[in-house]
Amino acid sequence: MHRRSLLAGLAAGLCLPSVLRAQSAWPDRPIRLIVPWPPGGSTDTIARIFQPRLAALLGQPVVIDNRGGASGSIGAIEAARAPADGSTWLFQYDNEATNQTLLRLPYRTLEAFAPVSLVASGPLALVAHQSTPWRSFQDVVAAAKAQPDTVSYASSGIGGLAHVATTLLQQQGGFSLVHVPYRGGGPALTDAIAGQVPLFMSNVVIISQHIRAGTLRPLGVTTGAPTRHVPGVAPFAAQGFPGFDAPTWWAFLGRAGTPEPVMRRMQEALAQALADPEVRGKIEEQGADVRATGAEEARQFLAGEIGRWGQVIRANNIRADS
């Protein structure tokens, strides 16, 4: 009996240093935050708002690593393969939910990742270039019905919420648009403000300044109710699409299996960063509402989004090449 107790005590002693290291020594080197989108998009924009404050709270640099491509899946795959030691984290956009149905991925979101927080959410808006003749969403619907598959719209990529939500609008309204997918919101925005593509369905974060400047004309938003971020613009739910609700979102994820003390410290630091009035103000100025949820709420939200939009993708036969 004494021998078993001694062995148990030795085992506990061997585990203690690793626990102490996780609690006190982390982080002991720069932290990598993978943003699976190019610079200039909304995910990159929001990450760079809270990055400096998060780094100050953790006492180490937080290095943003833009790994764009394949609707956000290239960077997500890399994050899913990273060691679960708190050195690598993922800041992801709503595509994470739709990609689970659309793409053949080597991981499942809720198995590979441990959600830290739903950082923010906000409306998507359909905008038209100022040179187009459309003054309302009904103008677009009428043009698309008169000449099907001649009116084009851009999005940040195939299968993203902007694409899937617009597909649902077409299904419910009985009209057809031509989808022009880009490798992220930044490249799509460049062509939208240049008038290279007449319509753009996007989160408000990257288009708000161009709406204010008059370059892009908002025709509708995807939130169920009017939003302060695009004042005076009716939601699609009030434009003949009752019940339509498709807010966009951004989430902070860690690797599943990351030590609990490490997860807890990141959760606390991120919550503090998002509660900072300057950080919160800058994010909300961009057109998003800070959420700063707990880990379990973020997990439940992600599970709901994966299930909800997976049904829409399957019902409309949306494929990676559509």
Residue 168 lies in a domain: yes
Residue 196 sits in the same domain as residue 60: no
Structural domain including 303 reads 29-122+248-315
**280 and 205 share a domain?**
no
Total tally of structural domains belonging to the chain = 2
Same domain as 199, residue 149 = yes
Backbone angles phi, psi at 293, to 5 degrees: -80, 170
Choosing from 189, 215, 238, the residue where a domain stops is: 238
Distance CA 122, CA 285 (A): 12
- Residue 9 maps to a domain: no
Q: Do residues 205 and 43 touch, judged by C-beta distance below 8 A?
A: no
Per-residue pLDDT of the chain (322 residues; tens, 9 = 90+): 444 444 444 444 444 444 444 445 488 899 999 999 988 888 999 999 999 999 999 999 999 999 988 888 999 999 999 999 999 999 999 999 999 999 999 999 999 999 999 999 999 999 999 999 999 999 999 999 999 999 999 998 888 899 999 999 999 999 999 999 998 888 899 999 999 999 999 999 989 999 999 999 999 999 999 999 999 999 999 999 999 999 999 999 999 999 999 999 999 999 999 999 999 999 999 899 999 999 999 999 999 999 999 999 999 899 886 5
pTM for this model (two decimals): 0.85
Q: Are residues 145 and 197 in the same domain?
A: yes
Same domain, 155 and 113: no
Q: How far apart are CA 112 and CA 125, in angstroms?
A: 31
CATH code for the domain of 160: 3.40.190.10
**Collapsing DSSP states into helix, strand and coil, what is residue 241?**
coil
Token look-up 């929001």 returns: 46
> For 282, phi and psi rounded to 5 degrees?
-65, -40
Distance CA 214, CA 208 (A): 10
Contacts of 10 (CB under 8 A, 6+ apart): none
